[in-house]
């Protein structure tokens, strides 16, 4: 399980964007509780060769676009996912 560090409502209020320690970004359907999107451990998998514990992991920053159709996720190593 991933601890949630930040959460943002979608512009229409129907989805929730969460970021968690371990570099996870997830989108949730608030009506059903289902996960709609998972970008899990992107920085850990691609940028780091050795991670011994959760304190080594970063908390990404993620934002919705104004129309709610696009998500921008940024990581401390400079990685950006759109």
Angle (CA) 78-37-40 rounded to 5° is 45
Q: How many CA atoms lie within 13 A of 75 on its CB side?
A: 24
Q: What is the pTM of this model?
A: 0.72
Give the pLDDT score at 18.
92
Q: pLDDT (tens digit, 9 = 90+) per residue, 1-56?
A: 567 888 999 999 999 999 987 778 899 999 999 999 988 655 444 444 444 444 44
Say if residue 71's pLDDT is above 80: yes
Please give the Cα distance from 10 to 69 (Å, whole number). Answer: 9
Give the pLDDT score at 39.
81
Question: Which of 70, 74, 71 lies closest to 60 in space, CA to CA?
Answer: 74
């Amino acid at each position: 399980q991933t601890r949630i560090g930040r959460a943002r409502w979608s512009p229409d209020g129907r989805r929730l964007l969460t970021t968690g320690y371990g570099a996870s970004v997830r989108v949730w359907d608030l009506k059903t509780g289902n996960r709609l999107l998972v970008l899990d451990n992107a920085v850990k998998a691609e940028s780091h060769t050795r991670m011994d514990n959760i304190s080594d992991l970063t908390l990404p920053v993620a934002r919705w676009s104004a129309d709610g159709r696009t998500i921008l996720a940024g990581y401390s190593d400079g990685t950006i996912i759109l």
